[in-house]
């Protein structure tokens, strides 16, 4: 217990989530007119206000959990033969479906960050991944496994290209990657919107902005039915392992970490900082592109202007929540996926807007980004690693 | 804890030297006296009156002034403007105008009263370092301070400027001012101090009088007996290894920093480059290492042209390099000792290849080097940032010496390093020389260059003014460092 109350990362993350849930609860209460009315005669009968508030908030969060992990009622129905196992596992399937692309975009941001680069461009890179994977998916008509592999590789390369450009610009001209990647986000989004209404791309006979469907052989395999989960989540776990290996065990990872921590010392030791930046941005872009590819080949199966959703920007938050560590990023993505899946159920059952999930996500990240705040609120003991005093002493 | 129950008393009219290694807690102590840090315990008593200093303003009001190691002057302001800064003479109320004439007059008056000539109208950026320091002292004196703290004041000065500073200090104490003189240079302490307090690891370990020998003072500082002289046999120079001819290099602002330098370093000798910092030594070395663009001229390593090669290739041609700014260029503080020890060899045998790094061989290498180079750390997995400056430097030296070398280049190899580690690093450099490696040492500490070098090249404003023997009188080398050639024959061997 003593260790729990020292300011380590796990404790900070857990308490940040707790704070977000509490504030979210307050938001739920004040946005509900009926419950709010009961606060009108709070002094006369406070129990009314408390009871209805508790009921509202606990139902909402219960729906969130049921939508993310599973509903006990459905599980018992499955055991008594009144529901199928698919129905029981549908919530988890939703969580994993939403999480898969976020793992990739989160890894993209996290890896770049370890090399000292702030990749705001995961969104644009994911969009390029969507485009390349989608177009490859409905164009080539290759045999079954090959078609999928080609489409995934196309997505990765598309994202890599979109990462390579800002990397090259930074290495050659010193252009800051934050500026260039933001600009390339717009470029990618607008290019997608233009592309899906072009002849040869747009689905025949449709007047709205949607492309032809990806060939079935190029889609990521999925159990089907109510279970939307697909191979993407397995690829995401494997990729996380790959990125962890790359970062900690490979020569390139050593270069990334050295350049990220002290580019001057890296340069002095003979590491080419420029080359590392270019390669790193291409790899980070490729990861985000992979995320885009899983989105199109696993879930959407066709290109629309909003096919990539917000996966790139959410990837930023996921990487931050995962503290730019590969496995941490994976778990953060799962949490975001769970919030999103649970939010859907909360919206339809409790009538609470899906935007509350966005608020929760944002609050968690804000608290994590401002650890001093959480430490002050919970009066955590300063852990030695984060002590400020040590850095002030000088001979 | 940087300071652990320190008691120190400064009497009027004395120079009180505060002697200690880097990181001993000298600056921390003085920053409390000057109101930059607040003590957790204990008190400051000025003229029998306990005082609390919340900021330097309080300290100045109590008659305490400080000249920092890095000057706090605005380069584009004049001397008079800089001196007025913070205590501007204003006429016409709170929204009034600056009374420049009065500021100017104050400066002239103070500088005459204390015999410290400064030109009130000169721009700071045009002044040499010694004169800038004089401006800082005049600035403190115009605030009517009684106690002046000088934090490592001689680190940036030529030997002549140091002499002048000591004279100024003597005349100030003669006028009743007290001076706290922070340094780790034993010679200066002996020359000027009335009393010496030695600090080690935040504690006062002894007081000494100025007639204590240098060896005794050093032993007090380090906590054990140390040898101050570099012990070495006469060099046996072999073939020419490094040949620099007509080298021209610009600095970061595009200003010519190295302006036609010719140098030669032979196997088995140490060529020392002496010079006040900022005379092109840094740029010269960086150009040789491929870290800075060569504008003109050639650099050859046993006939191989190094110009245009990447730093990685140069390092792998058998060149070891210790950069001058350790924490900026030498180590990655977030990396472990083991990782820092392979920072430039991570992708070749036995540590790894183009793809992967072999953790076991990295760890066993670290274990071996930590022992061989006496690196004091909890374990090879400790972060380098947690090590003392001297041990960080040993990590860099160990790394650069852990492969067969043809040329070893060390810039300021012992800057910010404790006396004990200095001794060790010097002996390793001489050991490397005796193995037949060509060694190039750049240092702004004249003692270090004279102690290590077999030949000394003096650099001034981007040129090599002369190459002299280490037996040359200090004064002569000092004059060369100040750009005064006199009748020294060029290129003497």
Which of B256, B268, B270, B264 lies closest to B298 in space, CA to CA? B264
pLDDT of residue B304: 93
Q: B332 and A258: CB-CB below 8 Å?
A: yes
Q: What are phi and psi of B317, to 5 degrees?
A: -85, 10
Q: How far is CA A345 from CA A33, A228, A350, A381, B434, in A?
A: 21, 16, 8, 39, 77
Residue A244 contacts B where some CB pair is shorter than 8 Å: no
Contact status, residue B3 vs residue B29, Cβ threshold 8 Å: yes
DSSP state of A295: I
Q: Say what the ipTM of the complex is.
A: 0.82
Helices A85-114 + A72-79 axis angle, to 10: 130
**Cα separation, A173 vs B201, whole angstroms:** 47
Q: Does A391 touch chain B (CB under 8 A)?
A: no
d(CA B119, CA B78): 9
Burial A220-229 (b: 16+ CB within 10 A, else e): bebeeeebbb
Nearest-CA residue of chain A relative to B286? A268
Is residue A146 within 8 Å of residue A311, measured between CB atoms?
Answer: no
Angle at alpha carbon of residue B219, lines to B203 and B425, rounded to 5°? 105
CB contact under 8 A, B289 and A268: yes
Averaged pLDDT, A172-190? 95
Q: Is A271 on the interface with B (CB under 8 A)?
A: yes
Q: Determine the average pLDDT of the residues in A220-247.
A: 94
CA distances from B23 to A392, B16, B208, B403, B413 (A): 11, 19, 20, 31, 17
Is residue B10 exposed (0-12), middle (13-18) or buried (19+ Cβ within 10 Å)? buried
Residue of chain B nearest A392, judged by CA positions: B28
Whether the CB of A267 is below 8 Å from some CB of chain B: the reply is yes
CA angle A305, A307, A308 (to 5 degrees): 110
Each residue of A275-315: pLDDT tens digit?
Answer: 999 999 999 999 999 999 999 999 999 999 999 999 999 99
Separation of CA B64 from chain center: 26
Chain A neighbours among B 356-375 (CB < 8 Å)? 356-357, 359
What does R_g of chain A's alpha carbons equal in angstroms?
A: 23
Q: Is the peptide bond before B377 cis (omega within 30 degrees of 0)?
A: no
Of B339, B344, B347, Cβ closest to residue A251:
B347
Report the SS3 class of residue A305. Answer: coil
Interface touch A394/B354, C-beta < 8 Å = no
Q: What is the mean pLDDT of chain A?
A: 90
B418 min Cα distance to partner chain A (Å): 11
Q: How far apart are CA B423 and CA B435, in angstroms?
A: 19
C-alpha span between B307 and B145 (Å, rounded) = 54
Q: Mean pLDDT lowest for which of A85-99, A124-138, A186-200, B202-216? A: B202-216
For B356, residues 6+ apart whose C-beta sits below 8 A from its C-beta are: A249, A250, A251
Per the CB < 8 A criterion, the answer to whether B162 and B134 are in contact is: no
Q: What tokens were used for B418? A: 């404790």
Q: What is the pLDDT along chain B (493 residues), one digit of tens a residue?
A: 678 888 888 888 999 998 887 667 787 888 888 888 888 888 888 888 888 888 888 888 889 999 887 788 898 999 988 888 877 777 777 777 777 888 888 889 888 888 888 888 989 888 877 888 889 989 988 888 899 999 888 877 777 788 888 988 998 999 889 999 988 778 888 889 999 999 888 888 888 888 888 888 888 888 877 777 788 888 889 999 999 999 999 988 788 999 999 999 999 999 999 988 788 999 999 999 999 999 999 999 999 999 999 999 999 999 999 998 888 899 999 999 999 999 999 988 889 888 899 999 999 999 999 999 989 888 999 999 888 778 899 999 999 998 899 999 999 998 777 777 888 999 999 999 999 999 999 998 888 899 999 999 999 989 999 999 999 998 899 889 888 876 544 444 3
Q: Would an 8 Å CB–CB cutoff place B334 in contact with chain A? A: yes
Average pLDDT of the residues in A344-356: 87
Q: A186 CB contacts (<8 Å, ≥6 apart)? A: A124
Q: Please check the confidence at residue A392 and state whether its pLDDT lies above 50.
A: no
Q: Inform me whether the C-beta atom of residue B69 falls under 8 Å from chain A C-beta atoms.
A: no
CB pairs under 8 A between A and B: 91
Where b means 16+ CB within 10 Å and e means fewer, A182-209 reads bbbbebbbeebeebbeeeebbbeeeeeb
Nearest to A251 among B26, B316, B356 (CB): B356
The shortest CB-CB distance from B357 to any of A250, A267, A393 is to A250
Read off the pTM.
0.80
Q: What are the residue boundaries of the structural domains of chain A, listed by start?
A: 92-333
How many alpha carbons fall within 13 Å on the CB side of residue B341?
Answer: 30
Nearest CB neighbour to B335, from listed A249, A261, A270:
A261
- Residue B493 Cα, gap to closest chain A Cα (Å): 32
Residue of B nearest to A257 (CA): B335
Domains with residue ranges and CATH for chain B: 15-222 (3.40.50.300), 240-481 (3.40.50.300)
The answer to whether A392 contacts chain B (CB < 8 Å) is yes
Q: Is B352 on the interface with A (CB under 8 A)?
A: yes
A218 CB-near residues (< 8 Å, 6+ apart): A136, A137, A138, A142, A147, A148, A150, A151, A297
Give me the mean pLDDT over the A353-380 stretch: 82
| Distance in angstroms (rounded) separating the CA atoms of residues B416 and A154 | 54
Q: In whole angstroms, give the CA distance from residue B106 to residue B112.
A: 10
A254 interface with B at CB cutoff 8 Å: yes
Task: Tell me which chain B residues have a C-beta less than 8 angstroms from the C-beta of A387.
Answer: none
Q: Is the pLDDT of residue A39 over 90?
A: no
Residue B36 sits at the chain A interface (C-beta within 8 Å): no
Smallest Cβ–Cβ distance between A267 and the set B22, B23, B291 belongs to B291
How many angstroms away from the CA of B30 is the closest CA of chain A?
10
Report chain B residues whose CB lies below 8 A from the CB of A395: 20-28
B268 neighbors B437 (Cβ within 8 angstroms) = yes
What residues does B242 pair with on adjacent strands?
Answer: B265, B301
Measured CA angle at B433 (ends B432, B437), to 5 deg: 85
CB contact under 8 A, B289 and A257: no
Q: Which residues in chain A are contacts of B355 at CB distance < 8 A?
A: 250-252
If we measure between CA atoms, which residue out of B446, B445, B405, B444 comes closest to residue B428?
A: B405
What's the CA angle centered on A135, arms A131 and A137, to 5 degrees? 115
The CA distance from B169 to the nearest CA of chain A, in Å, is 23
* Unique residue bearing structure tokens 């010519």: B256
Partner-chain contact B333 A258, CB within 8 Å: no
Cα nearest neighbour of B18 on chain A: A395
pLDDT at B488: 47
Any chain B CB within 8 A of the CB of A269? yes
**Nearest-CA distance from B25 to chain A in Å?**
4
Contact between A270 and B316 using a beta-carbon 8 Å cutoff: yes
Pairing of strands B270-274, B438-443: parallel
Answer yes or no: are the C-beta atoms of B409 and B322 closer than 8 Å: yes
How far apart are the CA of A263 and the nearest CA of chain B, in angstroms? 8
The minimal CB distance from A251 to the residues B310, B339, B346 is found for B346
Which chain B residues have a beta carbon less than 8 Å from that of A249? 356-357, 359
Distance, in Å, from the CA atom of B478 to the CA atom of B458, rounded to the nearest integer, reads 9
Whether B352 and A251 lie within 8 Å, measured CB to CB: yes
Beta bridge partners of B197: B18, B207
Element (H, E) at B48: none
Residue of B nearest to A248 (CA): B357
Candidate from A28-32, A75-79, B287-291, B434-438 with smallest mean pLDDT: A28-32
How many residues are there in chain B? 493
Q: Which of A173, A98, A126, A130 is nearest to A284 (CA)?
A: A126
Q: What percent of chain A has pLDDT over 90?
A: 69
**Each residue of B97-127: b (16+ CB within 10 Å) or e?**
eebeeebbebbbebbeebebebbbeeebeeb
Q: Per-residue pLDDT tens for A45-58?
A: 888 888 989 999 99
């Amino acid at each position: 217990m003593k260790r729990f109350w020292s300011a380590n990362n796990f404790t900070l993350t857990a308490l940040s989530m707790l704070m977000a849930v509490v504030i979210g609860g307050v938001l739920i209460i004040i946005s509900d007119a009926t419950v709010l009315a009961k606060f009108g005669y709070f002094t006369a009968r406070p129990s009314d206000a408390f009871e209805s508030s508790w009921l509202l908030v606990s139902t909402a969060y219960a729906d969130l959990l049921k939508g993310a992990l599973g509903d006990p009622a459905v599980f018992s129905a499955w055991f008594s033969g009144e529901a199928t196992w698919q129905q029981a596992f549908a919530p988890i399937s939703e969580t994993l479906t939403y999480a898969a692309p976020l793992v990739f975009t989160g890894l993209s941001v996290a890896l770049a960050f370890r090399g000292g680069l702030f990749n705001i461009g995961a969104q644009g890179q994911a969009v390029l991944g969507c485009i390349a994977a989608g177009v490859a998916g409905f164009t080539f008509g290759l045999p079954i496994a090959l078609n999928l592999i080609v489409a995934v590789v196309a997505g990765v390369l598309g994202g890599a290209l979109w990462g390579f450009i800002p990397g090259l610009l930074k290495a050659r001209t010193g252009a800051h990657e934050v500026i260039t990647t933001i600009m390339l986000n717009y470029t990618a989004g607008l290019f997608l919107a233009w592309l899906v209404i072009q002849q040869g791309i747009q689905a025949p006979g449709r007047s709205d902005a949607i492309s032809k469907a990806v060939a079935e052989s190029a889609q990521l395999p999925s159990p089907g039915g109510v279970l939307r989960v697909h191979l993407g989540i397995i690829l995401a776990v494997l990729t996380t392992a790959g990125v962890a290996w790359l970062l900690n065990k490979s020569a390139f990872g050593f270069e990334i970490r050295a350049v990220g921590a002290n580019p001057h010392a890296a340069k002095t030791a003979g590491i080419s900082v420029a080359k590392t930046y270019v390669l790193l941005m291409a790899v980070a872009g490729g990861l985000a592109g992979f995320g885009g590819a899983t989105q199109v080949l696993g879930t959407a199966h066709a290109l629309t202007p909003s096919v990539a959703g917000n996966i790139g920007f959410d990837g930023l938050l996921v990487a931050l929540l995962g503290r730019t560590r590969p496995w941490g990023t994976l778990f953060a993505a799962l949490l975001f996926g769970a919030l999103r899946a649970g939010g859907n159920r909360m919206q339809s059952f409790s009538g609470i807007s899906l935007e509350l999930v966005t608020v929760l996500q944002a609050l968690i990240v804000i608290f994590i980004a401002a650890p001093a705040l959480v430490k002050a609120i919970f009066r955590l003991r300063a852990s030695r690693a984060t002590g400020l005093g040590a850095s002030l002493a000088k001979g | 804890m940087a300071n652990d129950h320190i008691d120190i008393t400064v009497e009027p009219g004395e120079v009180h030297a505060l002697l200690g290694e880097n990181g001993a807690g000298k600056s921390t102590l003085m920053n409390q006296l000057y109101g930059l840090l607040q003590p957790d315990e204990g008190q400051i008593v000025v003229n029998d009156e306990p005082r609390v200093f919340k900021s330097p303003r309080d300290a100045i009001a109590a008659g305490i002034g400080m000249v920092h190691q890095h000057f706090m002057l605005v380069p584009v302001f004049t001397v008079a403007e800089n001196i007025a800064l913070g205590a501007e003479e204003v006429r016409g109320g709170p929204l009034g105008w600056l009374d420049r004439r009065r500021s100017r007059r104050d400066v002239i008056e103070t500088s005459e009263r204390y015999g410290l000539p400064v030109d009130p109208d000169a721009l700071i950026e045009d002044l040499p370092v010694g004169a800038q320091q004089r401006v800082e002292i005049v600035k403190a004196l115009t605030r009517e301070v009684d106690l002046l703290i000088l934090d490592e004041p001689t680190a940036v000065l030529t030997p002549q400027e140091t002499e002048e500073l000591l004279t100024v200090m003597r005349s100030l104490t003669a006028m009743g001012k007290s001076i706290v003189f922070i340094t780790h240079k034993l010679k200066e302490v002996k020359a000027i101090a009335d009393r010496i307090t030695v600090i080690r690891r935040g504690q006062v370990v002894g007081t000494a009088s100025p007639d204590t020998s240098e060896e005794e003072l050093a032993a007090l500082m380090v906590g054990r007996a140390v040898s101050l002289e570099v012990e070495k046999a006469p060099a046996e120079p072999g073939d020419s290894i490094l040949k620099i001819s007509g080298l021209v290099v610009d600095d970061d602002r595009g200003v010519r920093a190295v302006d036609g330098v010719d140098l030669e370093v032979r196997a088995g000798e140490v060529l020392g480059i002496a010079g006040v910092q900022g005379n092109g030594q840094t740029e010269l070395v960086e150009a040789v290492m491929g870290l800075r663009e060569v504008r003109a001229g050639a650099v050859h390593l046993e006939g191989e042209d190094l110009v245009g090669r990447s730093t990685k290739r140069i390092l792998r041609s058998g060149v070891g390099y210790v950069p001058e700014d350790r924490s900026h260029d030498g180590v990655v503080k977030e990396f472990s000792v083991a990782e820092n020890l392979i920072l430039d060899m991570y992708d070749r045998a036995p540590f790894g290849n183009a793809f992967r790094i072999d953790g076991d061989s990295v760890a066993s290498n670290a274990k071996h080097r930590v022992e061989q180079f006496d690196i004091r750390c909890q374990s090879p997995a400790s972060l380098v940032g947690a090590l003392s400056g001297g041990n960080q430097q040993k990590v860099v030296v160990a790394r650069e010496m852990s492969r067969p070398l043809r040329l070893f280049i060390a810039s300021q190899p012992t800057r910010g390093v404790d006396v004990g580690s200095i001794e060790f690093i010097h002996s390793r450099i001489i050991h490397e020389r005796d193995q037949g490696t060509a060694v190039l040492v750049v240092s702004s500490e004249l003692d270090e260059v004279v102690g290590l070098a077999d030949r000394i090249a003096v650099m001034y404003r981007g040129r090599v003014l002369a190459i002299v023997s280490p037996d040359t009188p200090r004064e002569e080398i000092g004059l060369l460092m100040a750009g005064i050639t006199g009748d020294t024959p060029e290129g003497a061997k």
